[in-house]
Amino acid sequence: MSKGKLFVISGASGVGKGTVLAKVMAAREDLRFSVSATTRDPRPGEVDGVHYYFVTKENFEDMIRKGEFLEYDAHAKNYYGTPRGQMEEKLEKGSVLLDIEPNGAGEVKRSCPEATLIFIMPPSMQELERRLRGRGDTPEDQIKVRMERAIWEMEQKAWYDYVVVNEDADVCAQEILHIIAEKAE
Ligand code: 5GP
């Protein structure tokens, strides 16, 4: 029996998830962040083993073959996946937060039905595009790809347990903390 609960958070690229999740993690020391593996290049400031495990396509495909992923998905021309081992180790100690997109979230819900799924929405699609551009770390050709993906992601929110809107990062983080407090205790 693991000690913790599983919380899955999804939200389109540019929705401000990073800021919100940093606030959530800072407010709850008992919560651990599941570090995903990805084949995409690190962005400025991203640290290997902290934000992601940055691996090659060959490494990632090797991990798939060895069954090392709880779930994985290919999107925005890269692979992203949750290495099972680190997630289970963290779950032994307490609750775990996964920042993954809807395909992965659906997979987690199938294998761990007790997981709580939370979807973060932008105030509007125009605001999402504005934030994505404003971030300055996503090439223009990728913005179009990510906006198309965001439209699909928004349709998936219907089957999440909770939907929160990120109009203000502090308010949004508080809403998520409230959900976690309810489920984790
Ligand atoms: P980014 O490249 O902006 O860090 O992440 C792009 C998308 O990949 C985000 O929607 C994020 O939630 C998702 N993602 C990150 N890690 C994983 C993972 O391990 N599995 C899946 N399925 N999606 C992930």
Write the pLDDT tens digit of every residue in 36-66: 999 999 988 999 999 999 999 999 999 999 9
Q: Which atom from ligand 1 is nearest to the alpha carbon of 105? A: 22
Query: Does ligand 1 come within 6 angstroms of the Cβ of 107?
Result: no
Q: How many CB atoms lie within 10 A of CB 20?
A: 25
Residue 147, both tokens: 């906006």
60 C-beta closer than 6 A to ligand 1: no
Specify whether the CB–CB gap between 8 and 118 falls below 8 A: yes
Is 55 within the bounds of a domain?
yes
Count H helices, E strands: the chain?
7, 9
Task: Evaluate whether residue 167 is within a structural domain.
Answer: yes
**Torsions phi, psi for 181 (to 5 deg):** -60, -40
88 found inside a domain: yes
Give domain status of residue 44, yes or no: yes
C-alpha 151/C-alpha 101 separation (Å) is 13
Predicted confidence (pLDDT) per residue in 100-158, tens digit: 999 999 999 999 999 999 999 999 999 999 998 988 878 888 899 889 999 999 999 99
What whole-number percentage of the chain has pLDDT above 90? 84
CA dist 21 and 85 (Å) reads 22
What is the residue range of 152's domain?
Answer: 6-184
Q: Confirm whether 1 is domain-assigned.
A: no
pLDDT value of position 109: 96
CA of 111 from ligand 1 middle (Å) equals 18
Asked, for residue 70, whether it belongs to a domain, the answer is: yes
185 pLDDT higher than 80? no
List the beta strands (DSSP E) in the chain. 6-10, 32-33, 36-38, 52-54, 69-75, 78-83, 96-99, 116-121, 162-165
In the predicted model, is pLDDT for residue 2 greater than 90?
no
Task: Give the count of alpha carbons within 13 A of 71, CB side only.
Answer: 18
pLDDT at residue 52, rounded to an integer: 97
- CATH number of 88's domain: 3.40.50.300
- Neighbour tally for 130: CB within 10 Å: 13
pLDDT at residue 77 greater than cutoff 90? no
pLDDT of residue 76: 76
For residue 42, CA distances in Å to 49, 52, 67, 116 come to 11, 8, 24, 28
Q: Confidence class of residue 14 from pLDDT cuts 50, 70 and 90? A: confident
36 lines ligand 1 (CB under 6 A): yes
Of residues 48 and 185, more confidently modeled: 48
Q: Quick check: 94 and 3 in contact, CB under 8 A?
A: yes
Q: Which of 7, 54, 97, 101 to mutate to test the pocket of ligand 1 (most atoms within 8 A of CB)?
A: 101
Q: What is the CA radius of gyration of the chain?
A: 16
What is the per-residue pLDDT for 1? 56
Domain count, the chain: 1
42-60 burial: b if 16+ Cβ within 10 Å, else e:
eeeeeeeeebbbbbeeeeb
Length of the chain in terms of residues written? 185
Strand duo 36-38 + 78-83: pairing:
antiparallel
Average pLDDT, the chain: 94
